[in-house]
A = this chain, B = another copy of it.
């Protein structure tokens, strides 16, 4: 089951690890009494989303209209487009809806809500959610901001369907302890529920309360008032999630297979044919307890080589070296000769996966399978 003949670099997907990640998240959220609406931006691959659906997920979250289109064409008809909408994108949204896609859009301003409502010509009614800012990291309206009610009224009075509120606690990526993660999950939950309550008290229906990020989804103690959770990167996991503390290294399902192309003996460097074009430029572990450079190195079978990291990267060259004085002093060119294959675990699976047109899936009964993923907008 070693992918000996695959040209390198290529993206390997460990089917069993991914299935475990999918099952673990689904079981956890079902136990908390909420639906799971996975974010498909991580894998951008229909077979991956089908496995999530088979495990019990309901609907999908997307970050681009292209994701909505590709997944709808593959049979996913309940789609939340979780980036605030602009007027220029509404014709494409409407076209998808008229083909049968239950596509919900997002707003976080009176201006956007008003233009959405104004675009409902010929009796078409858009489904919209309001983005709530529960952690200050990006977009959304804070739950105590009176603008929230103005946005709700602009939607309702404009004839749009206010489906609910949603938030994403992206700040959870900065958490480092179980206590901080639980507190962030509770902050995300409580503030989003607070926003829903404010809208309801002002007389507006707000059926859905959607929260989520992989760290908070895996840390929440309870989710009272929440109807659904969104999470994405859990499907593959990565070194950043390991650094946050919500997965083990051995849960990481995505890796980049590469080949040793040379050495710089006196520097202790091994050069491989995967650089930042393969790994992405993401350096997400730089601010964490263990900085893995551009990735952590495993042998060809996927066993971590403790302490060996991709310490530098050019476009198609990766430089591997021991971090923090680890390593046994053996000559690199003997231990890792030219032609030897290694796997690199990614800092950020969403960014690394995006560099590849296909996944080489390991662990299927049929041998190595090729699953396509798409990119672009």
Contact = CB atoms under 8 A, between A and B. Distances in A.
Contacts of A283: 281, 283
A10 interface: yes
A146 B182 CA distance: 60
Main secondary structure of the interface of A (DSSP, over half): loop
Contact of A337 (B111, B281, B376): B111
Nearest to A39: B315
Interface in A140-159: none
29 contacts: A8-B88, A10-B377, A41-B315, A83-B273, A83-B317, A84-B261, A85-B261, A87-B339, A109-B263, A109-B333, A109-B338, A111-B333, A115-B338, A115-B339, A133-B264, A138-B312, A138-B314, A138-B319, A139-B261, A139-B317, A170-B314, A276-B282, A276-B351, A280-B280, A281-B281, A281-B283, A281-B348, A355-B375, A357-B375
Interface string A118-148: 0000000000000001000011000000000
A140 to B, nearest CB: 8
A259 interface: yes
Contacts of A41: 315-316
Given A315-B41, A351-B281, A264 B139 contact: yes
Contact of A138 (B63, B86, B108, B271): B271
A260 interface: yes
Nearest to A348: B281
The 6 closest A-B pairs by CB, nearest first: A281-B281, A63-B316, A84-B261, A281-B282, A357-B376, A84-B262
Contact of A262 (B9, B109, B261, B312): B109
Copies of the protein in its oligomer: 2
Nearest to A87: B339
Interface string A245-257: 0000000000000
A263 B138 CA distance: 9
A281 B112 CA distance: 29
Contacts of A278: 377
Most buried by B among A87, A115, A377: A377
A261 B138 contact: no
Chain B CB within 10 A, most for which of A10, A92, A259, A276: A276
Given A9-B377, A139-B264, A139-B317, 16 more contacts: A85-B261, A86-B339, A87-B338, A108-B262, A111-B333, A112-B338, A138-B271, A138-B312, A138-B319, A139-B271, A276-B351, A278-B377, A280-B281, A281-B282, A354-B355, A375-B375
Nearest to A111: B338
Nearest to A85: B261
Contacts of A348: 281
A262 B112 contact: yes
**Residue of A9, A83, A312 most packed against chain B (CB within 10 A):** A83
Contact of A277 (B9, B84, B133, B354): B354
A83 B316 contact: yes
Contacts of A312: 138
Interface string A263-289: 110000001010011101111000000
Nearest to A65: B7
